Structure 1
Amino acid sequence: MSEKELEEVQNQPDDNQNESELEDSSDTKKRRTTTPIPTPSSNADFLAVPASPPKFISFQDLMTATKGVRNMTLAHEIAVDNDFKLEKYEPQAQSVEKRVHDIMHQAFWDLLQEQLNADPPDYTPALNLLGEVKEKLLSLLLPQHVRLRAQIEEVLDMELIKQKMEKDAFDIHYYSGYVIDTMAKLCAPIRDENIQKLRTVTEVVPLFKEIFQLLEMMGMDMANYTIQQMRPYIQQQSVEYERKKFQDLLEVQKQNGRDGLQFTKLWLSRNLKKLQESSSSLGAAAASSITPVTVLNEAYMELLNWDDKETFPETLLMDQNRFLELRDKTKRLTLISAVLLLTYHTVGTPIVGVQALKQTLQSRINVLLDGVQPTELKEKMAHVAEEVNKVVGETLRELGFQDREKSKEDNLKGQIVQVLDESHTVHQVIRSRVHQFIYQTSFSSHSEPKKIPQGLSTVQKDLVQVCGQFLRLIAHNRSVFSIWYSSIIEHLLEYK
């Protein structure tokens, strides 16, 4: 399989580099000297919550750690999300915050209108507004905008404008026109329509309201442009940066008598135990194949079947929502594929080879199951079964076949509802194929093409997308946290 998204992620060097870190026990022992992980006498002690009394931590240390986490999170978001961008914060509609915001802003603009309508007009608020506009324009300039910067400073000279106001020689439309012309030079092409709209506004207060709104959007555009330009550099530096900030956070927690890796240890220990239990019946050779790498791989795969009753590992918290979204997507793809397999097996010969039907069914089922909560699935599956029967019936009539008997429709409906049960044979088979494909794509040789398993061709595009996102996340996570994973797993293996 040569999907571009997978190839881009698979070619990342960090993953292979850190697999060797996990495998190299000598290097791991050297790194342990800088790792804040205790060395207790047993796994029970190792996984237990520290019993020492809490120590006092200064407010300054706490705020420093909090700021570090925020910075680490921002760097992480930019590094792992190619579509990351800043967006304007908007209070929720009908909220108290929204009402207060609107009232205060309206009061400000009403007061400005009142002062401009006075006889003689009071331009003092307008002077303040022009000062803010000037600062916003200057903030949008790049280093090469030397001449434009000088021009803005010259035209929007606040002292000169103040003197004009005092001598009743101030023309607010001249300055607003200059501001709009300057904004037109600086804005992205996507804002050209907004600029044209500004040129049609003649009333002063509405004009300045529009100017400020557009300047805010332009500021956001500039910030996102800067992020886009810096992303390659941030991606290069984020691993070391996140590692350092996480180390700082662990130190703060340690000072307060807390183990900052408590749930990470439980997560890795649980998956080591799972591997040991599965290999116990296969002999010594299988047991010897359990390594830090295989334990971590197994732990990563657990994320695609995560039990919400468990607490997420500390090292994965920044991507918790992403992993849970991938889990839900994986379960939905499994269910869709299982329904398709059952449908084609039950209806039989009349629809064999009708690929258009598969695509239609896949699209309809995907829409019906999108965003459905686990508690609602049983009810939704009845709707899925009705939709499948409807689409199959329409297809059969188009192909010249007679309508199916109601008993056959009820039989298919019952099987579709039952396949929701994860113990259902078809569900188990499809889930195994999905997880095996994701495992091979994520952890086996990246140079070998991957074949889509039987029964999954209809969801191939979505499955490849899941694999790409999953691989990108675990590659970055492994790069940042391998130093702690290595130490924890090595300790667990010593006492297995």
Structure 2
Amino acid sequence: MSNQREEVGDESPSDLPCLEKLDSPTGSPPTASLSSLMELENCVSNLSLAHEIVVNRDFFFKPGDPLVNSLEGRVTEIVHRAFWDSLQEQLSNDPPNYKHAVILLQEVKNMLLSLLLPGHVRLRSQLDEVLDMELIQQQVAHGALDIHRLAAFITDTMASLCAPVRDPEVKALRDLEDPVELLKGIFRVLGLMKTDMVNFTIQSLRPHLLQQAVQYERTKFQQILDKHPASLDKTTAWLQAAASEEAIGHQAGSPASDRRVLLSATAVLNRAYMRLLHWDPQDQKYPETVLMDRARLDTLSQQLQMLVLEASVLLLTSTQFRSVIFHLQGFVGKLRQSITALLESSHTREADLKRALLGIGDMVLKQMTDAVSTQGGGALPQESQDVLRRQISDLWKQNNAVRTLIGERVQDFLLAMLQGGPAKRSPELHFPLGLVSAELAELGTAFGRIVHFNRTVFGPFYAPILRKLLLPTGEAEAGEDLR
């Protein structure tokens, strides 16, 4: 799979130079040689790529053009321009010099062959016949090479192989007269077709990858662990913190006579996963076993905080005015849309959240006033308006009582979904969470999918850590299955 990744967006001619691996520099630590670090990096890269393909259903490759303003982009542009300028000069000679053109034709043939399926027997035979490199060399020697005839065959072949989305680009190639622009265009479109083929292969293989992914990820992570035994230190600390929290909660909710009951490893692990939804972005001690899903979990965490704030605003509004307008058709939906729009992008900085909540207070009061007016009601009491505006503004505080209450209810909901598993229905939600139940259920499902896969893959790594934390004597906990 790593080879496929390297091919995406790679439109460089095959005779361009490549960097060779350097030996470990003098004076570098013997335990961290450059070659071993590169090997470890490749292992992590392959593991991350395989995980992304399996977990992210929307994953696909994009043509890997370097950023225009980056050093890589500028170097690539200079090298490519020099190559195509050289080809232009060679073909403009009298007689033309076809040295580089023949190399490109060989590369085009290889790219076309890589796009063929086993059933393309006749097309493979035609490629070997028309793009016979020995014959082409003979034609060059006798001044009889017809690049346009070969290009026409190539574009016809591309048209028969490409996805429908590439039809206009292949058709445009037929209108190019300049041989250099034609070859350049062929390479560009072939690069896109190779990307299409890789993405099609990924979609086709995903069901099979799912079957093999668990063992693959375990094996790759074990290879990393073999090279760096400390690769579970942060994971151990993460589980230790969860076990401590679970012990405190268990003691608080149990009678004194029952406080020596062993903690459940599954309960500790579930609590550990829940902690990831409230992880401090500045805390770099993220568990190694969940690192590949951190971006996904951070996104879910942000969505969760927005839903908590939204539900808190709805609860405060309903409590303050105790109005029947919440039952008016379309009112809550319009109110929620406005709240969501104002909260968007306000999670990154405290100042942004304060500003957003001030705007939300004014917006809620305006919509409430308009709704009451349409129902023939009188003006809202000014004192109640001031109280609601202040209550909404205070939601920026992490320890705000209403925000804390809603957060705990959401936490209980997600934990219930986690404990129930993917086959169980979502637990019932009461006001105001019932108003955001669809979004919470979707978030819980996405969270549960990540947790289930992670627990299945890394269960064998978690088990000995949890045994040591929960059973100091080393005894096995009967009936516990971390997967």
Q: TM-score range by the shorter chain?
A: 0.7 to 0.9
Q: Residue 78 of structure 1 contacts residue 235 of structure 1 at CA under 8 Å; is this kept in 2? A: no
* Partner in structure 2 of residue 472 of structure 1: 449
Aligned amino acid, residue 434 of structure 1? V
1:105 matched residue in structure 2: 80
Structure 1 equivalent of residue 216 of structure 2: 241
The equivalent residue for 1:458 is: 435
The 5 A counterparts of 1:187-336 are 187-254=162-229, 259-281=230-252, 282-283=254-255, 284-285=257-258, 288=261, 290-310=263-283, 311-336=285-310
Q: Which of 115, 135, 149 lines up with 2:90 in the alignment? A: 115
CA distance in structure 1 between the partners assigned to 2:98 and 2:338 by the alignment: 61
**Residues 63 and 124 of structure 1: is their aligned pair in 2 closer, same or farther, counting only changes over 3 Å?**
closer
Say if 1:362 and 1:459, in contact at 8 Å, map to a contact too.
Answer: no
1:180 offset after TM fit, Å? Answer: 0.8
Instruction: State yes or no: 1:186 paired with 2:157.
Output: no
Structure 1 stretch 181-190 or stretch 375-384: which is displaced more?
Answer: 375-384
Deviation at 1:366, TM superposition (A): 2.3
* C-alpha distance in structure 2 between counterparts of 1:186 and 1:240, whole Å: 35
The Cα shift of 1:351 comes to 1.9
C-alpha change, 1:270 and 1:447, in structure 2 (3 Å) is same
Aligned-pair CA distance for 1:407: 5.7
Match of 2:400 among 414, 424, 432: 424
TM-score with structure 1 setting the length: 0.82
C-alpha distance in structure 2 between counterparts of 1:104 and 1:483, whole Å: 49
How far apart, CA to CA, are the structure 1 residues paired with 2:118 and 2:70? 41
Instruction: Say if 2:385 is the partner of 1:413.
Output: no
Gaps of 5+ in 1: 1-53
Which residue, 58, 74, 82 being the options, matches 1:83?
A: 58
Q: Does the CA-based 8 Å contact 1:91-1:97 persist in structure 2?
A: yes
Q: Distance in 1 between matches of 2:88 and 2:435?
A: 62
Contact kept in structure 1, 2:316 and 2:391, CA below 8 Å: yes
Q: Deviations over 1:174-231 (max 9, x none)?
A: 1111111100111112212222222333332322222111111110111111111221
Q: For 1:431, what is the secondary structure of its paired residue?
A: helix
**Structure 1 residues 91 and 409 mapped into 2: Cα distance closer, same or farther (>3 Å)?**
farther
**What is the TM-score when the length of structure 2 is the normalising length?**
0.84
Q: Deviations over 1:379-421 (max 9, x none)?
A: 2222333333444445445555566576654443322111222
Give the match's secondary structure for 2:168.
helix
Mapped partners of 1:452, 1:343: distance in 2 = 22
CA contact (8 A) 1:350 1:396 kept: no
Q: Contact (CA 8 Å) 2:239, 2:272: kept in 1 or not?
A: yes
- CA deviation vs aligned residue, 1:56-111 (integer Å, no higher than 9, x gap): 36655444333222222222112211112122223234223222222332233233
Report the secondary structure of 2:327's partner residue: coil
Q: CA distance change for structure 1 residues 67 and 338 in 2, over 3 Å: closer, same or farther?
A: same
Deviation string, structure 1 residues 454-494 (Cα, Å, up to 9, x no partner): 21233223222211111111111111111221211111123
SS at match of 2:231: coil
Moved more, 160-169 or 221-230: 160-169
Whether the 8 Å CA contact 2:155–2:174 is kept in 1: the answer is yes
2:20 — aligned with what?
Answer: none
Corresponding position of 1:14: none
Give 1:124-143 correspondences, 5 Å limit.
124-143=99-118
374-383 or 221-230, larger mean C-alpha shift: 374-383
State the match for 2:4 in structure 1.
none
Q: Secondary structure at the match of 2:79?
A: helix
> Secondary structure at 1:305's aligned position in 2?
coil
Q: Residues 59 and 118 of structure 1: is their aligned pair in 2 closer, same or farther, counting only changes over 3 Å?
A: closer
Counterparts of 1:408 and 1:78, CA distance in 2: 53
- Using the alignment, how far apart are the partners of 1:439 and 1:315 within structure 2? 20
SS at match of 1:419: helix
Whether the aligned pair in 1 keeps the contact of 2:44 and 2:224 (CA below 8 Å) is: yes
Report what 1:493 is aligned to.
470
Number of residues paired by the alignment? 439
Residue pair 2:234, 2:288 contacting (<8 A) in 1 also: yes
Is the 8 Å Cα contact of residues 277 and 301 (structure 2) preserved in structure 1?
yes
What pairs with 1:158-173 in structure 2 (closer than 5 Å)? 158-173=133-148
Is residue 434 of structure 1 aligned with residue 405 of structure 2? Answer: no
The answer to whether 1:351 aligns with 2:325 is: yes
* Distance in 2, Cα, partners of 1:228 & 1:329: 28
Partner of 1:386 in structure 2?
A: 362
CA distance in 2, matches of 1:81, 1:117: 50
Cα distance 1:94–1:196, how it changes in 2: closer, same or farther (>3 A)? Answer: same
Contact kept? 2:361, 2:392, Cα under 8 Å: yes
- Is 1:146 the counterpart of 2:121? The answer is yes
Work out which structure has the larger RCO, using CA pairs closer than 8 Å and 6 or more positions apart in sequence.
1
The separation in 2 between residues aligned to 1:367 and 1:426, in whole angstroms, is: 21
Name the CA distance, whole Å, in 1 between partners of 2:262 and 2:329.
42
Paired with 1:303 and 1:345, the residues of 2 have a C-alpha distance of 32
Indicate how the Cα distance of structure 1 residues 153 and 196 shifts in structure 2: closer, same or farther if over 3 A, else same. same
RMSD: 2.5
> Percent of counterpart pairs with the same letter?
38
The aligned residue for residue 152 of structure 2 is 177
In the alignment, structure 2 segments of 5+ residues that lack a partner are 1-28, 474-483
Partners of 2:89 and 2:386 lie apart in 1 by: 73
Change in CA separation of 1:91 and 1:364 when aligned onto 2, cut-off 3 Å: farther
C-alpha displacement of 1:445: 5.9
| Partner Cα separation in structure 2 for residue 287 and residue 214 of structure 1 | 68
- Structure 1 Cα separation of the partners of residues 48 and 276 of structure 2: 20
